Amino acid sequence: SGHRAALFLWPEIDFAATLNSPPSPAIVTQDAVRRLPRWALLLLCVVYVIPGYVGRDPWKNADIASFGYMLELLRSAGWRDWLQPTLLGVAPDTSALLPYWLGAWAMQWAPSWIAPDFAARIPFALMLAGTLAATWYAVYELARHPAAQPVAFAFGGEAEPTDYARALADGSLLALIATRGLAQFSHETTPALAQLFFGTLVFFGLAALPHRPLGAPLALLLGLPALALSGAPVTALIYGGLGLAAWFMPARPGGDRPLPRLAAPGLLVALALSLALAWTLDLFRWQIASWRTDWDNWRSLSQLFLWFTWPVWPLVLWTLWHWRRPVRTLRQHRHLGLPLMIAVVPLVNTIATLAGDRALLLALPALAALATFALPTFKRSAAALIDWFTLLFFTAWAIVIWVVWVAMETGVPAKPAANVARLAPGFEPVFQWPAVLAAAAGTVAWIALARWRTGRHRTALWKSLVLPAAGATLCWLLLMTLWLPALDYGRSLAPQMGELRKTIGETPCVEVHGLSTPQVVAVRFFGGWQPIPARGPATCPWLLVDVDAQASLPATVDMRQWRPMGQVRRPTDSNETLLVFKRAGPA
């Protein structure tokens, strides 16, 4: 019905081309696919990627735990330790190997003047940048599909295919940056980010198969085995199976060009290599969750889907509704079918396993691709609603961040300052000129962008996603500059280790009992002590015990050899308290 209505609204549309082509709800002029300035897009990506990787300590829990396994690999004596990384005999929660290798290699090759934790973040920052680039190119290839093209006009003036694909690719990158769930997990040194990057690389390879006979198979040959080595072997096999299914499907009239001859051999080699690596290295670890019969579980899962994928999921629903006729024939409309199938895998994984939001992270690039195809069907009223809501929302949050920062520095207003003192007792604010200047520059840029966007109407397709992406980047920049000292104090284990050092001082080793993996890493990295599991007679001058594990302590060590010296709690979490014992006599 929308397609027939378009024939009356646009009398210059070519009726013959309309009847002979797949139904498309997109009516786009050449003026609407004007190019987003490359400098602006690259600057937005840089401002989004770099904050969060610099100026902070490893954060609990997954971030510092992964960093601990990287540190342990540096001390390993043989290659077997690299194939089975452990920390005090405890293996990682996931079957990932490649992310730990990358972090350890980065620390090995980095100069001595670079901090080890920052060196370990460098390959992960590059993988985040690669994720943004792979998403752009994947949507660019999908938008070149004949079924994705807008309606042709009788007297010309419709969008050129290349310009149309570039405009939609710009929109997909903006949509991905605006996604709420991407910010934190994409700035951690965890296997989840490696899975995101290599999964997006596979997405690009599958999308580019019809147009890039050499680049696409190479992307799949790298992405599928690396995805398996990053802790997602089943996902890699499923994605490879989707590619093989697409290759064996016969080409349809009016559809995309046949897949190149290298597609099937490349996919088979990538699948065989992924399966061989996963089987040989024992990477298949099932974490199937029990069936959720409680309404609270389903409600929390629904809330996760809603906030984690905001603001992409409303646009995805908009796409599926306005492209509902093409959706019925996904084989002929791979610009919808491929991202939909790519997104379904992590969505099901989130429901069926214990991975939770980190599994849902893999769906964001494909969801951003689906959301992009809503842009050609937007009306002016819908675009204006998005603009004003986004402008008010992010402006309000930027004001809140600035006000709280002023309160931390000056004590005025009194209420925000009191809240900070209550949530982070003992925190001393640190004024950092580079951070303040970066935050001020980002705020000025946001004001200029808001004035440009609301000052006059722009016809570009990507216009509705400029403010959401810029607003998300602004808030992330302000948090990682103005609030970074407070956030680092609250999320790092360094303050607790600093208080512990006042009691222990310099010592070669400490025995530990009941400590979690993040706490063990903190003892070694922040404290500078070698942690040793407490078993039997005392071998170190000090013993650290988690407060929740003190009941099992007498069954592990001889308490006559230890004298209690007090306890050290984490400033921002009273549940993470360490009991300190000193050896009563010589070893």
Summarised one tens digit per residue, pLDDT across range 173-186 is: 999 999 999 999 99
| Predicted confidence (pLDDT) at residue 385 exceeds the cutoff of 70 | yes
Taking the alpha carbons of 78, 82, 87, 88 in that order, is the dihedral positive or negative? negative
Q: What pLDDT does residue 267 have?
A: 84
Highest mean pLDDT among 90-99, 155-164, 403-412: 403-412
Distance of CA 162 to the CA centre of its chain: 29
Distance, CA of 62 to CA of 192 (rounded, Å): 10
- CA dihedral in degrees (498, 504, 505, 510; nearest 10)? -100
| Average pLDDT of the chain to the nearest whole number | 87
Question: How much of the chain, in percent, has pLDDT values that exceed 70?
Answer: 89
Distance, CA of 303 to CA of 272 (rounded, Å): 38
* Tens digits of residue pLDDT in 328-344: 566 667 888 899 999 99
The candidate with the shortest Cα–Cα distance to 482, out of 378, 401, 541, is 401
What is the secondary structure of 427-475 as a DSSP string? Answer: ------HHHHHHHHHHHHHHHHHHHHHHHS----TTHHHHHHHHHHHHH
What is the secondary structure of 510-564 as a DSSP string? Answer: EEEES--HHHHHHHHHTS--EEEE--BS--SSEEEEEGGGGGGSTTTB-GGGEEE
| 566-586 mean pLDDT | 88
| 282-311 mean pLDDT | 81
Task: Tell me which residue has tokens 């498309």.
Answer: 24
By 3-state DSSP, what share of the chain in percent is helix, strand and coil, each rounded to 5?
60, 10, 30
Distance, CA of 510 to CA of 522 (rounded, Å): 12
Element of type H or E holding 46: helix 38-49
Question: How much of the chain, in percent, has pLDDT values that exceed 90?
Answer: 60
Highest mean pLDDT among 22-36, 155-169, 243-257, 557-571: 557-571
Taking the alpha carbons of 33, 37, 42, 48 in that order, is the dihedral positive or negative? negative
| 442-458 mean pLDDT | 84
| Predicted confidence (pLDDT) at residue 480 exceeds the cutoff of 50 | yes
| Predicted confidence (pLDDT) at residue 45 exceeds the cutoff of 60 | yes
More confident residue, 381 or 428: 428
How many residues can be counted in the chain? 587
- Which pLDDT band holds residue 5 (cuts at 50, 70, 90)? very low
Is-contact 187 52, C-beta < 8 A? yes
- Which pLDDT band holds residue 151 (cuts at 50, 70, 90)? confident
| Predicted confidence (pLDDT) at residue 261 exceeds the cutoff of 70 | no
Distance, CA of 545 to CA of 567 (rounded, Å): 9
Copy the structure tokens of residue 240: 């490879």
| Predicted confidence (pLDDT) at residue 75 exceeds the cutoff of 70 | yes
Copy the structure tokens of residue 130: 């690669």
Q: What pLDDT does residue 258 have?
A: 59
Is-contact 178 33, C-beta < 8 A? no
Q: What pLDDT does residue 356 have?
A: 78
Q: What pLDDT does residue 24 have?
A: 75
Distance, CA of 444 to CA of 459 (rounded, Å): 24
Element of type H or E holding 385: helix 380-410
| 105-128 mean pLDDT | 95
Distance, CA of 263 to CA of 219 (rounded, Å): 11
Task: Answer yes or no: pTM beyond 0.85.
Answer: yes
Distance, CA of 43 to CA of 49 (rounded, Å): 10
| 1-21 mean pLDDT | 38
Q: What pLDDT does residue 459 have?
A: 76
| 274-291 mean pLDDT | 82
| Predicted confidence (pLDDT) at residue 37 exceeds the cutoff of 70 | yes
